[in-house]
């Protein structure tokens, strides 16, 4: 569900708004029908304003996702080349698209020039073709990018550009793939070793990441999908080790969460074993490893604001 509203008109409940799925529209109608007759005027995706080309993908180099259709608006995330999109709306000046990133459901605004638009049939062609993920960055294609093709010689970007990619830089995307803890830890250490890095609020591209963006990138490269933000990742994982002193109950690949205000997680990282975890933080100015029971001032601070852990694999 994206947006919905209800008014009472001429003895009927009138539902307006937009829904992604017919089942969401039907569920809302069923809920309101207990109160009286319903006139359901809600629109279902694809929305008329976008016409037939209401799907798409991110072009090479990736793009920023903004909270509003303005380059000065908050950076809420970033999207990688080949990420598929549902295009929900167009800004009044036509320069921005409001999109839903399909693989994790994240919504934001991107410059229109950074997307290639597709019909539903064109999107299906892309999704059904053999595709691969880049495991290291190449010019115009940050690690995590998706290309069509899986032979390790030739790939094709979402906009149709042919690229040559070494086979060792690719991981073929398999239906129903599931990440393993060992692979998660391995990739967390790969990103840790690929210095220099820097901390970027909203960052998910290459070496400029925020804390939850680091987690999401590692799990994506390992073959899994977790939500974008720290508190969402905690909600989507199985709680373990509620106190820092319980660290021996942790398993490699677990997500660690931290919160100063104790209302919801505001920082996160990946446990790699032996009391140690890898994370992206502004204090470390990028990706670094810390010890949960360490005695540095920063490690004591993290232990004090520890907010539990979550198991995904």
178-187 average pLDDT score: 97
| The pLDDT of residue 176 is above 90 | no
Closest CA to 255 of 182, 310, 313, 212: 310
Q: Residue 194 has which token pair?
A: 């690929």
| The pLDDT of residue 1 is above 60 | no
Interatomic CA distance for residues 82 and 60, integer angstroms? 8
- Last residue within a domain, chosen from 175, 200, 230: 175
Interatomic CA distance for residues 159 and 275, integer angstroms? 44
**Residues 34 and 104 reside in one and the same domain:** no
CA distances from 173 to 49, 145, 147, 178 (A): 33, 11, 10, 11
278-282 average pLDDT score: 98
Interatomic CA distance for residues 186 and 192, integer angstroms? 10
**Residues 143 and 205 reside in one and the same domain:** no
Residues contacting 289, CB < 8 A, separation 6+: 192, 272, 276, 277, 278
Q: What is the model's pLDDT at position 95?
A: 98
Residues 154, 163 contacting (CB under 8 angstroms): yes
**Residues 60 and 153 reside in one and the same domain:** yes
Average pLDDT, the chain: 95
**Residues 268 and 297 reside in one and the same domain:** yes
- Name the residue range of residue 239's domain: 181-311
Q: How confident is the model at residue 152 (pLDDT cuts 50, 70, 90)?
A: low
- Last residue within a domain, chosen from 175, 204, 239: 175
64-90 average pLDDT score: 98
**Residues 159 and 195 reside in one and the same domain:** no
CA distances from 275 to 175, 182, 214, 249 (A): 34, 16, 19, 10
**Residues 193 and 307 reside in one and the same domain:** yes
- Last residue within a domain, chosen from 137, 157, 175: 175
211-249 pLDDT per residue, tens: 999 999 999 999 999 999 999 999 999 999 999 999 999
Render 52-102 in DSSP notation, one character per residue.
T--EEEEPTT-EEEESSSSTTS-EEEEE-TT-EEEEEEE-TTSSEEEEEET
124-136 pLDDT per residue, tens: 999 999 999 999 9
**Residues 165 and 221 reside in one and the same domain:** no
Cβ neighbours of 161 (radius 10 Å): 14
User: What is the H or E stretch that residue 125 is in?
Assistant: helix 120-128
- What's the gap between Cα 226 and its chain centre? 7
Interatomic CA distance for residues 241 and 90, integer angstroms? 45
Total number of domains constituting the chain:
3
Q: Cis ω on the peptide bond leading into residue 143 (within 30° of 0)?
A: no
Supply the CATH number for residue 123's domain. Answer: 2.30.30.40
**Residues 240 and 287 reside in one and the same domain:** yes
Supply the CATH number for residue 187's domain. Answer: 3.90.1720.10
Q: What is the pTM of this model?
A: 0.92
Q: How confident is the model at residue 150 (pLDDT cuts 50, 70, 90)?
A: low
Interatomic CA distance for residues 22 and 195, integer angstroms? 46
Q: Return the residue matching tokens 């997680």.
A: 265
Interatomic CA distance for residues 117 and 126, integer angstroms? 12
Sheet strand arrangement including 198-199: 198-199, 208-209, 204-205
């Amino acid at each position: 569900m994206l947006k919905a509203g209800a008014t009472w008109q001429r003895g009927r409940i009138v539902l307006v708004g937009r829904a992604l799925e017919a089942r969401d529209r039907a569920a809302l109608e069923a809920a309101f029908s207990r109160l009286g007759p319903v006139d359901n005027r809600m629109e279902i995706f694809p929305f008329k304003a976008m016409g037939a080309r209401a799907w798409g993908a991110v072009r090479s180099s990736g793009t920023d996702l903004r909270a509003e259709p303005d380059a000065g608006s908050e950076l809420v995330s970033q999207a990688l080349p080949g990420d598929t999109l549902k295009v929900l709306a167009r800004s009044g000046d036509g320069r921005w698209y409001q999109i839903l990133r399909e693989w994790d459901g994240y919504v934001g605004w991107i410059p229109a020039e950074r997307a290639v638009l597709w019909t539903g049939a064109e999107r299906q062609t892309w999704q059904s073709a053999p595709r691969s993920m880049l495991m290291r960055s190449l010019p115009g294609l940050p690690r995590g990018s998706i290309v069509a093709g899986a032979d390790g010689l030739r790939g094709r970007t979402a906009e149709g550009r042919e690229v040559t990619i070494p086979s060792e830089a690719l991981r073929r995307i398999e239906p129903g793939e599931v990440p393993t803890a060992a692979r998660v830890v391995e990739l967390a250490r790969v990103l840790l070793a690929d210095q220099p890095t820097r901390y970027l609020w909203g960052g998910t591209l290459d070496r400029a990441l925020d804390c939850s963006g680091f987690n999401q990138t590692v799990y994506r490269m390992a073959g899994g999908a977790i939500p974008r933000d720290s508190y969402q990742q905690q909600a989507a994982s199985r709680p373990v080790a509620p106190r820092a002193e319980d660290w021996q109950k942790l398993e490699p690949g677990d997500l660690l969460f931290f919160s100063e205000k104790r209302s919801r997680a505001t920082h996160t990282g990946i446990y790699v074993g032996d009391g140690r975890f890898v994370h992206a933080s502004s204090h470390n100015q990028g990706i670094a490893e810390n010890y949960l029971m360490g005695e540095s001032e920063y490690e004591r601070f993290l232990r004090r604001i520890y907010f539990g852990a979550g198991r995904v694999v």
